[in-house]
Amino acid sequence: MRLSVRTFLQAERQRVQDWVGGSADSLESVETARTVGDCVDRERLGRRLPDGWCVDREIVQFPGESLSEVVRLTDREAYRITLKPVELCAPTEQVEIYTRSGPDNTRRQRRTADSLAEALIYATGMAARRHARRTQSASGSTETASSSH
């Protein structure tokens, strides 16, 4: 027997309502909280980063912890700098800074900054240094290649 879309959605709505406590009124007790993604102007931060870097907010899970929202800076080669508040309810206070050099590599904690502002300064500096090293090595290999001809 095939259900209509409307019947299916009504049944799913009822199933979810039963699961959360029987009525949509039970959702009134849910509070919203500011997250790290709400505290970071992605466009403004993106303008401070070298070419080829992007800024996203993502939901991730660290081992032994619940889901967390993080701000992630990523370059074209999949190098990631992740900013994760120590306390989810205090996104502008202490922030852990992690790096990951590629999708198959493990995340490594670099430091804990005293504030989100300090973490952003540190992360943009890391991105600038990485960009400068890549640019330098690319121009060095071009010079070496052209001088050998």
Model confidence at 47: pLDDT above 90: yes
Phi/psi at 116 (5° precision): -65, -40
Model confidence at 149: pLDDT above 60: no
* pLDDT average, residue stretch 49-75: 93
Model confidence at 148: pLDDT above 50: no
Confidence category of residue 59, pLDDT binned at 50, 70, 90:
very high
In this prediction, residue 144 carries a pLDDT of 46
| Domain ranges, residue 133 | 36-143
Asked if residue 81 belongs to a domain, the reply is yes
More confident of the two residues 118 and 7 = 118
Kindly state the tokens that stand for 35: 């997250």
For 73-105, give one letter per residue: b (16+ CB within 10 A) or e.
Answer: bbbeeebbbbbbbeebeebeebbbbbbbeeeee
Which amino acid, residue 143?
E
Domain count, the chain: 1
Q: Sheet containing 80-85: which strands, arranged edge to edge?
A: 54-61, 67-74, 80-85, 95-100, 108-113
pTM: 0.73
Three-class secondary structure of residue 40 per DSSP: coil
